[in-house]
Every structure is written in C-alpha cells, then in structure tokens.
Amino acid sequence: RTAIMESVLCCSFLSVWISLGRAYDNLALNKSAWQQHPYNGNDEVWGADLAVDGRYTELSASGGQCVISGVGQTTAEWRVDLGRVLSIHHIFIQYRTDNVVWDINNGYTARFLGYSAYLSNSTNKEDGVLCFKDTSYTRATIPNPTNITCITHGRYVIYYNNRTHPPYPTGYDSIAMNELCEVEVYGCPIPGYYGEDCSLPCPQNCQESHCHIVDGSCLGCVPGYKGPTCNEKCLDQTYGLECQRNCGNCKNKEPCHHVNGNCLNGCASGFYGDTCNLDCPDGWYGSNCQEQCNINCGVPYRCDRVTGQCEGGCSVGWKGVTCDTNCNGGQFGQNCSSVCGHCLDKEQCHYIHGTCSNGCDDGYHGRDCTQVCKNNTFGSKCSFTCGNCLYPYGEQCHHETGQCQHGCDVGFHGDRCDQASSDPASPCQSSTALYVSVTIIVLSVLLNVFFIIRQLRKSLCTSTCLQQKIPDNVDKHFDGKNIELEKTTHVSKSKYDQAEDNAAYQELGEITKESPYNYLH
C-alpha cells in the first residue's frame, strides 16, 4: 500500500510539474550560481552550479549532480543569478535523498527543515521578497521535491537555512548545509509579458512593465496612474507614484499634472516652484512670487506673501493695501489722515509733508498754506492791505476778499472801504453816526442804572446804622407801639439781601416813614 501511495504522489507531482514546465521556461538553467560555504573551501567537487545544470537523476553525493556545502556551519546560503529582473511564477527545489525513500527515516530531512526561499533584485536576501519559510514541517511531512509559488519579479533566487538560535525544533539537525541537487526557476524569459506562453504584453502603465504573470494585473503603476491595470489617471488633486502625493497650490485650485505634479498655469498667490509647494521668500508675494513687497511698507519690503498687504501699514504719504498709491484727494501724511491747506487753485499738496509747491490761495500763507492773513492784510500772498474798515470787535477785513464786514470808517465807502467819500452825508457817514449814537445811548442808560442801584444800597445801609445807635435809656415804646430794635434790624438785613430783586425801592419807602429817632429830635 505504501509503494502504491508513493507511486500516486510521484505521478501527481510529475503531472503538475510537467504542466507548469510547459507553460513557463526554466530561467535558472545553466546560469551563474554561488554558495556561502563551499565544501573544503572550493567548488570543484560539489560546486554551486551543479544545482542549475538540469540534472537530478542521481541524488547522492557520489552522483556528481548535487551541491554540498562545508560541514559544521551555522548558516547555509546559495543563490542563482537570472541575469536580469524577470517575471517569476514558481521555484522548483530537489533536495538530496541519497536515492532512498524520502520519509521520516531519511536523515537528510533533518537538514532540509527550516529552509527559506527569497527572490530579490540584489544579492542581499533582505532586499527581496520572502517566497517561503518553513515553520511547521516535520521530518515526516516536509515535501521533496517541492514547488514554491512566488509570483513576482526579481533577478536573484536565494536559498537559505540556519541553525543559529538553539534549542532547535524537534527533528532539526544541529548544522546547516546546502545539499541542493536542483533548483529551477520558472517564468517568462522576456520582461513585459505574461500568460501561459508569455505572449501577452503587460498593460502600458505597469511600473517597469511588471505585471502578474497569470492575469496581467500590474505589480505597481508608473507615476500618475492607478487601478489593477494602471489605466486610471490620478484624480482629486493627487499625483505621482500610486497617486499618493497631493498637488501643490496651483492657480485657481486647478488640478496639477497627474504624473509630475506640475501646475500648468502657475501657482496660487504666495507660492512658487514647479509643484507650487514652496512659500514665497520674505519680500515677495503673489502668483509664483513674482511681485516684490513695496519699499513704502511700514517695514520696507515686508508684506503678506499672498495679498502683498504691507507689514506695519504704509510709510508717510502712501496708502493702499500694498502702499503703492501716494496720498491724494487733498490729503497727506501718515495714513493720508492729514488735510492739505489752501494750495493755489485747489492743487494737491505734497503727499508726504503737505507743502504747496505753487503757492497759496488768496488769504493764506505759509509753506502748507494753513495760516490766515494777519496784520491787516488780505489776498494773494497776503500782499494787500485792508481798507478803512470799522473794527468794533477788533477784527480785520476778510482775509480772502478784503471786504469790510462791519462797514467803513468815516469818509470812506465801497466793499473794501478803500474809496474816499466826497459827500459828508453819504450813506457810509450816516451809518457811522447812527452806530456812534446808539452806542452812546446804551452806555448812558447802563451808567444811570448803576448809579441808582449804588445810591439805594448806600441809603439802606445809613438807615440801618442809625437804628442801631438808639441809646438804652430812650423809651422804646412810642405812641403805644412797641418798637423791637432787634426785629427791625433783622428785617432791614433781610430787605438789604433782596436788593438785587429790586426790593430796595420798597425799603426806601419804609425808611422815609417817621422814626423814633426823628421824633426825639
């Protein structure tokens, strides 16, 4: 029964191997091979190339068809160079059996346990793909020969085993050796093809023309594409390898180029560079950072990298977001907050210090034309003298026109009172006389009122003082009436306090009445 089972398994394996062999070429045949520890230090007897010569009918050391490495080592490594990176389907390994049944009783099973197979683009296995690592086989279950499916791309197929970390799993030998009678690597001999007979070209955008050897799906896409067959362009503001990079700050939020990320129409304000991912350097702003910050900024050449708005506002005499407009509209100075004086013909004053370059309007003088004509002058450059005006309040003629605002002095007439009058009864003279008469009358009335009030207060004070001088021996009763001096005195003071309410006239009447003091005399 055992012999029958072995025959069935062998036939099944051969049928699978034959079908696979028909589909793909053995890419390792007669290629350059290498092993870590050659037997006795050289490869002349059991060299590394014996594993890729296509012969494995004699699986013993004496058959001359197997690789055997040096004994007593803790690591064993062997590799074959396929010459270039190729598309791989599977790896076939035939281990030494010494031509006896491969079962638990075969001593070479202990040396085969724990092996690994790698496919790499360099001679370093860690740089490649781990196709297989034995972690569960036993001496009774480990297959030999074996096929390892490893659908990927690579140049070096590497076999590795080690005994570096005792204690080892049950059944493991204590030393590591290469005892490979054959290693075959099946795949497509020409890069960029797939299928059973390697006749179908890989999709155009597969990275390095690498596609799955069976179904043709890409094993990575060239930059700018995605999808199983790499036929979809990067979208949603992404680009590059596997569409994993985000676009920069393209103008108007346009998408960048799906391959290299370049912004086709330039950068948004505040950024520059091919992919618009760099902030504008200090002193520059705008699209592609082509605009220089203004020297008229509060901090010269310093502004917002996006808008160009000046840092620290504007220098004196300038305005606007970028401080590129000097003050106008009759304004000047810091933030254009000062108002120009009366420049000639309403011209704009100097935008920084407010001076009037062409002189002043009539009635004004000074560098900034803000000073009104004085010293009885008026007109252009204050070069004209006022006429013969009346100055009842001390003012002069109008500083612009020279007109007399309150009429003319005696003997003159005209808007500026600069024309002599020949008629003494002229309107100007009559007007002057009227003003003088009214003034005298008003002053006379005011003086009369003042003297009357003063006399009344003086009389009231005299009456009160006399009442206070009545001797103590004088009878204070007269005509049956009791005169109380203290009351009288109090009433008098009260009435005196009311003098400003015109009560003085009433008091004067009361004082003229016959008093006890007059009676005694």
CA distance 163 to 174: 6
Residue 516: what are its φ and ψ, rounded to 5°? -55, -30
CA distance 175 to 161: 9
Q: Amino acid identity of 490?
A: H
Domain 2-189 in this protein, CATH class: mainly beta
Distances (CA, A) of 401 to 290, 355, 397: 56, 23, 8
Q: Amino acid identity of 260?
A: N
Of 346, 349, 347, 324, residue with least CA distance to 338: 349
Residue 314: what are its φ and ψ, rounded to 5°? -110, 160
Average pLDDT, the chain: 84
Mapping DSSP onto H, E and C, the string for 364-404 reads EECCCCCEECCCCEECHHHCEECCCECCCCCCCCCCCCCCC
pLDDT attached to residue 391: 78
pTM of the predicted protein model:
0.56
Of 325, 320, 326, residue with least CA distance to 307: 320
- pLDDT above 90 covers a percentage of the chain that reads 66
Do residues 97 and 144 touch, judged by C-beta distance below 8 A? yes
pLDDT attached to residue 394: 64
Q: Tell me: the pLDDT tens digits for 149-205?
A: 999 999 999 999 999 999 999 999 999 999 999 999 999 999 999 998 999 999 999
Of 160, 183, 24, 157, residue with least CA distance to 83: 157
Instruction: Say if residue 6's pLDDT is above 70.
Output: no
Instruction: Say if residue 429's pLDDT is above 80.
Output: no
Q: Indicate the DSSP class of residue 259.
A: T
Q: Give me the residues paired with residue 356 across strands.
A: none
Average pLDDT over residues 231-235: 94
Per domain, the residue ranges of the chain are 2-189, 447-520
> Residue 131's pLDDT band (boundaries 50, 70, 90)?
very high
Identify which has the larger pLDDT, 466 or 421.
Answer: 421
- pLDDT above 70 covers a percentage of the chain that reads 80
Record the tokens describing residue 271, joined without a space: 């950024």
Q: Tell me: the pLDDT tens digits for 342-400?
A: 999 999 999 999 999 999 999 999 999 999 998 889 999 999 999 888 877 666 889 98
Q: Give me the residues paired with residue 331 across strands.
A: 339
CA distance 308 to 286: 7
The single residue listed with the structure tokens 């505040």 is 270
CA distance 411 to 407: 11
Angle at 412 between CA 406 and CA 414, to 5 degrees: 65
